[in-house]
Chain A
Amino acid sequence: MSVVVDRWSGLRRHTPARIALGRAGVSLPTSEALAFRAAHAAARTAVHAALDADALGATLGAMFPAVAVLASRAEDRPTYLRRPDLGRRLDDASREGLALAEPKGADVAVAICDGLSALAVERNAARFLAAFAPHVARHGWRLAPLGIALQGRVALGDEIGELLRARLTLMLIGERPGLSSPDSLGVYLTHGPRVGLTDAARNCVSNIRDGGLAHGEAAHRAAYLCAEALRRGLSGVALKDETAPAPAALGGGAAAIGL
């Protein structure tokens, strides 16, 4: 009745973005306004979900020499949300555990962290690692024990890698839930991991999920970055991702829709 439907709604199949929503006057139609509120409620729920580290360790253990369940210094979710400094450091028990873990001096220390979405880890960590494993075998990389950490931030991986004396850390972490993507996984790489490094020392492959970056493509990019980091002895802004973009990004996007 009062709602104007956009004639280009057929384009919605090309993107998860909320395009062609129509309008009431210049404003959102009721159905879209309320769908937004429902999605916000779902994302808020994902932020507060808990990761089952033991179950994840049981699933992934075969790929690694050992599994260590770890915790940051943020003891619960409310503390974690307000105190990122505590989420970047391991608690004492975790430090002691990793100090005893073997082997030391591996090429790659994989760490998995709940971050802001345990759902992202549950849905995507195992699938990413399954796609990453052939690259590990092909390059002959030696893996450190797997660390699975609760209430952790990205930088926690640096401490894990440092304690394991690994050449680089690959941190798989739940990214903050989006309205349409409560389950997006990020992978961060740090060469020469140690406490105190900043984001400038890291490379990132993000948005790994169904509907986002495919697991195989993400593993391919991460493996490229790992190989280059190990070869050149660095990571971060000096290390560019030179892998070929996926075919869809190579142009023709506007022409394909007649724009």
Chain B
Amino acid sequence: MFSHTLAGQRHAFQDLATLLARATPLRSGDCLAGVAAGTDAERAAAQLALADLPLKHFLTEVVVPYEDDEVTRLIIDGHDAAAFAPVSSMTVGQFRDWLLSDAADGQALAALAPGLAPEMAAAVSKICRAQDLVLIARKAEVTTRFRNTIGLRGRLSTRLQPNHPTDDAIGVAAAVLDGLLYGSGDAVIGVNPATDNVAAVGALLRLLDDVIHRHEIPTQSCVLAHLTTTIAAIEAGAPVDLAFQSIAGTEGTNASFGVSLATLREGREAALSLDRGKLGDNVMYFETGQGSCLSAGAHHGVDQQTLEARAYAVARAFEPLLVNTVVGFIGPEYLYDGKQIIRAGLEDHFCGKLLGLPMGCDICHTNHAEADMDDMDVLLTMLGAAGVAFVMGIPGSDDVMLNYQSTSFHDALYARRALGLRPAPEFEAWLEASGVMAADGRFTPLEGGGRFAGALARAGAAA
């Protein structure tokens, strides 16, 4: 039982999950789950009570029962007490102050990451303002490698997302070319298949693999099929770079996605067995998003932001190349409007970075949410300032397969230019050598078409 008296009124919170939920900035998903604070005063009291809670408490009171949930067991059994030691005597409030202090530099944060339980990261995020979430996350540098280097300071990578409503190969290829000519694709060239079908997924994988190898692009491909489909594709001989899976913060939600920790291990081992990474062996690509546990009916009365942080504890066990919080994708029942989407995106990036993950963000909204591209611009700018590893690059922001709006090739160039950010170094060199874009981020005139002269001549003749 926790409590705090504010303006003469005592607010009580029966357990840790309740305290965390009541302390969470307002969002529709917590209201839907019935766990949100009833009033602004209750929320403020919960934040004050949470700030006084020792970090050690999170190791003794879990929010989802240990016996019932393999994610809880992963968190508790995998906790690194030595890494935790420097902050083990702090309260949540003192932890925020320390994170903002100059003592918490990049090296200190990297050393701390294995010692943090996801609920600790979630707790401190709840008492942070947006600017705190930016400033602290900016200090945490997480780099990963497959065929290039993701997450270096001063770099902003993009996932080139060339989706097509029917997986039409020429349509996908056209969008890939468009993205490459706009300097996109250093995080991954990643297609969401319209149908989860082993043969179609294999065809898309071969298409992307051919382009990457023919043009010697220092990047990796991914077809975002269910992990069991990707494993089947590997068995059928398909050229898989990254193994993808959506994951969440409870065992029940992962089960609703058709996976377990054992499935994730199996997928990672299958991808590693192909040994296709030139610079490193980060072979997993995970996607997450607040609200998935409630959507699956497996939230255990825990708020959606804390559960999202628990998904990052799942991710870090598999050394991913990329973790992408798809922040506005599920819809307004979880994040109602632009304000809630912006806050959630900053929280997710912050928690992921604190836990040592290469965090990217699909800065997005659906047409039934109260949000528009102005909101996306605000979040993109703030995440760029916070050091986000990658964002999406979608032609004209319009995903014609998944039916939502995310950041475009143009948007990524805006962020790079406004914030002085550059692509991954290997990709940047390739862009210059290919005649697409100079090292200063300016387009080159593509005289003769550079590396893509053939495609450009053919497209020009057809126009």
Give the B-binding residues of A (Cβ under 8 A): 4, 6-21, 23, 26-28, 32, 36, 39-40, 43-44, 46-47, 81-85, 116, 175-181, 184, 196, 198-200, 205-207, 211-213, 221, 236-237, 240-246, 248-259
A205 and B402 CA atoms in complex are apart in Å by 13
Contacts of B368 in A (CB 8 A): 44, 47, 81, 116, 176-177
**Interface-located stretch among B48-56, B111-119, B167-175:** B167-175
Query: B364: shortest Cβ distance to chain A, in Å?
Result: 12
Q: Are A23 and B410 in contact (CB under 8 A)?
A: yes
Q: Are B200 and A249 in contact (CB under 8 A)?
A: yes
A8 and B177 CA atoms in complex are apart in Å by 9
Contacts of B177 in A (CB 8 A): 8, 11, 257, 259
- Within 8 Å by CB of B164, from A15, A221, A252, A258, lies A15
Q: Are A257 and B164 in contact (CB under 8 A)?
A: no
Most buried by B among A27, A84, A178, A254: A254
Q: Are B32 and A82 in contact (CB under 8 A)?
A: yes
Q: Are A7 and B175 in contact (CB under 8 A)?
A: no
**Interface-located stretch among B69-77, B84-92, B137-145, B391-399:** B391-399
Indicate if B414 sits at the interface (CB-CB under 8 A).
yes
Q: Known: A178-B367, A244-B199, A257-B174. Contact between A207 and B401, CB under 8 A?
A: yes
Query: B354: shortest Cβ distance to chain A, in Å?
Result: 30
- Within 8 Å by CB of A10, from B405, B443, B463, lies B463
Q: Known: A211-B165, A249-B168, A258-B454. Contact between A10 and B258, CB under 8 A?
A: no
Contacts of B373 in A (CB 8 A): 36, 40
A176 and B198 CA atoms in complex are apart in Å by 26
Most buried by A among B174, B226, B331: B174
**Interface-located stretch among B1-9, B189-197, B381-389:** B189-197
Contacts of B194 in A (CB 8 A): 206-207, 213
Q: Are A14 and B258 in contact (CB under 8 A)?
A: no
Q: Are A85 and B32 in contact (CB under 8 A)?
A: yes
5 contacting pairs across A/B (C-beta < 8 A):
A82-B333, A207-B166, A251-B169, A253-B168, A253-B207
- In order of increasing CB-CB distance, the 6 nearest A-B pairs are A18-B396, A253-B169, A178-B403, A10-B463, A237-B258, A15-B171
Indicate if B457 sits at the interface (CB-CB under 8 A).
yes
Q: Are A178 and B456 in contact (CB under 8 A)?
A: no
Q: Are A253 and B170 in contact (CB under 8 A)?
A: yes
Indicate if B279 sits at the interface (CB-CB under 8 A).
no
Q: Are A180 and B398 in contact (CB under 8 A)?
A: yes
- Within 8 Å by CB of A9, from B206, B232, B449, B463, lies B463
A148 and B449 CA atoms in complex are apart in Å by 55
A206 and B163 CA atoms in complex are apart in Å by 14
Contacts of B295 in A (CB 8 A): 84
Interface residues of B in 290-337 (CB under 8 A from A): 295-297, 331-333, 336
A212 and B166 CA atoms in complex are apart in Å by 6
A213 and B193 CA atoms in complex are apart in Å by 12
Q: Known: A11-B178, A18-B398, A83-B333. Contact between A237 and B403, CB under 8 A?
A: no
Q: Known: A178-B367, A253-B170. Contact between A198 and B398, CB under 8 A?
A: no
Q: Are B458 and A258 in contact (CB under 8 A)?
A: yes
Contacts of A257 in B (CB 8 A): 170, 173-174, 177, 455, 458-459
Q: Are B399 and A256 in contact (CB under 8 A)?
A: no
A93 and B162 CA atoms in complex are apart in Å by 45
Q: Known: A14-B171, A252-B169, A257-B170. Contact between A43 and B395, CB under 8 A?
A: no
Indicate if B130 sits at the interface (CB-CB under 8 A).
no
Indicate if B94 sits at the interface (CB-CB under 8 A).
no
Query: A33: shortest Cβ distance to chain B, in Å?
Result: 9
Q: Are B459 and A17 in contact (CB under 8 A)?
A: no
Contacts of A44 in B (CB 8 A): 367-368
Query: A147: shortest Cβ distance to chain B, in Å?
Result: 23
- Within 8 Å by CB of B457, from A196, A211, A241, A258, lies A258
Q: Are B372 and A40 in contact (CB under 8 A)?
A: yes
A244 and B175 CA atoms in complex are apart in Å by 24
Nearest CB to that of B402 among chain A residues? A178
Q: Known: A8-B455, A9-B463. Contact between A19 and B395, CB under 8 A?
A: yes
Indicate if B429 sits at the interface (CB-CB under 8 A).
no
Question: With A7-B460, A259-B454 given, can you name 8 additional A-B contacts, CB distance below 8 Å?
Answer: A11-B178, A14-B168, A16-B164, A184-B403, A207-B194, A240-B232, A253-B170, A258-B454
Indicate if B13 sits at the interface (CB-CB under 8 A).
no
Q: Known: A116-B368, A240-B198, A253-B207. Contact between A178 and B399, CB under 8 A?
A: yes
Interface residues of B in 194-231 (CB under 8 A from A): 194-200, 203-204, 206-207, 210-211, 214-215, 226, 228-229
